[in-house]
Amino acid sequence: MKKTHILILITLFSSCSKAQLNPLCDKHATAETKALYNSMQRLLGAGILFGHHDDTGYGVKWKYDDDSSDVKGVTGTYPAIYGWDLAKLEHDSTLDINKFPFEVQKKRVKEAYERGGINTFCWHMDNPTDGKTAWDTTRRTVADIIPGGAFHDVYVEYLDKAAKYLDDLKSKDGEHIPILFRPFHELTGTWFWWCKNTCTPDEFKTLWRFTIDYMRKKKKLHNLLIVYSVADFDSEAEFLERYPGDNYVDFMGFDNYCYDKKIDSYEKNLDKRLALLDVIAAKHHKLACLAETGYLNIPQADWWTKVLLPILSKYKTSYVLVWRNAGMEQYYAPYPGQQSADDFKKFSESDHTIFQNRLTPLAVYGKPTE
């Protein structure tokens, strides 16, 4: 049955090869980056790529082990999307915000690419104006770091450090590894220094455009696919209020978590927002994604196939990513023996989902993978 599913997926993928594809916002993107974006467009309707943050970095009862993954431990295969964080790189730290060594992270990014997986980075950047965490909302930080701001030079130094790291993410053959770059996520919330309570829409747009232009034009990074990811929204106008423009975005998405005693609310909001996003993304010729979701410690045994999958399968969502497995106290993907593990395996085998085993044969970067 698994081989049959893969053959069907390859057939669907190939049949869409001549479809009209949306262009990248970076006109000088590398060949591999273009191939990935085009491949992800062809996969729309064939299946939703499943992702997990820090999947091969650490998990429940293990840390930094080679060839390890809670997702793989349950399903027999890795996820298709691998999420990572740049946070603390701005301070020259050897460890990211989750105490994960950047050298190990870099190794895992390269391994994911070599097996045909897709890497995405967010950045819980510390506040450039005072060095406090991303959750410091006590200042008008955005106004202070855009061009002309008192701390603009500090912000540029942060960007330089991130650019150096991203520039070093290369395959064994020397090409730059394509990255889904997701800066300033959950921007419609109120908890980060870049959120709506700390800056005007115009200030935010200026920050976004400067950041992407700096990475592309000054640092010559042409392996970035840009993800615009909001938090709560209830209308097209609300979603687009701080949108920086089509020349600065490739993916449109949002973050939406499930909480105890609020599953009905989660289902209602997820359904409504994915429906809105389908329309918005089509209008702007972008790919839609559910950039972060999950249910802390997954207390419902059939959550994957009875709550998440029925909603996802209704829409043209490119990928979905669940948050990290920090340990027994916090996990968003099941580990072997966890109460939702059997249901998660069914989820991974659905015709509507794509994990690494189905992604690898598609050669989404335009060349065979290991």
Domain coordinates of the chain in residue numbers? 2-16+39-362
pLDDT of res. 25: 97
pLDDT by residue for the chain (370 residues), tens digit each?
A: 456 556 556 555 655 555 679 999 999 999 999 999 999 999 999 999 999 999 999 999 999 999 999 999 999 999 999 999 999 999 999 999 999 999 999 999 999 999 999 999 999 999 999 999 999 999 999 999 999 999 999 999 999 999 999 999 999 999 999 999 999 999 999 999 999 999 999 999 999 999 999 999 999 999 999 999 999 999 999 999 999 999 999 999 999 999 988 899 999 999 999 999 999 999 999 999 999 999 999 999 999 999 999 999 999 999 999 999 999 999 999 999 999 999 999 999 999 999 999 999 999 999 765 5
pLDDT of res. 1: 46
What is the pTM (predicted TM-score) of this model? Answer: 0.95
**Helix, strand or coil, per DSSP, at residue 85:** strand
User: What is the CATH code of the structural domain delimited by 2-16+39-362?
Assistant: 3.20.20.80
Q: Report the half-sphere exposure of 123 (CA within 13 A, side-chain side).
A: 28
What the block records as the tokens of 182 is 């997701």
pLDDT of res. 367: 73
Distance CA 176, CA 109 (A): 11
Widest CA span in the chain: 61
- Decide the pairing of beta strands 48-53 and 317-322: parallel
Continuous H helices in 214-339? 236-240, 263-284, 303, 309-312
pLDDT of res. 20: 79
Radius of gyration of the CA atoms of the chain, in A: 19
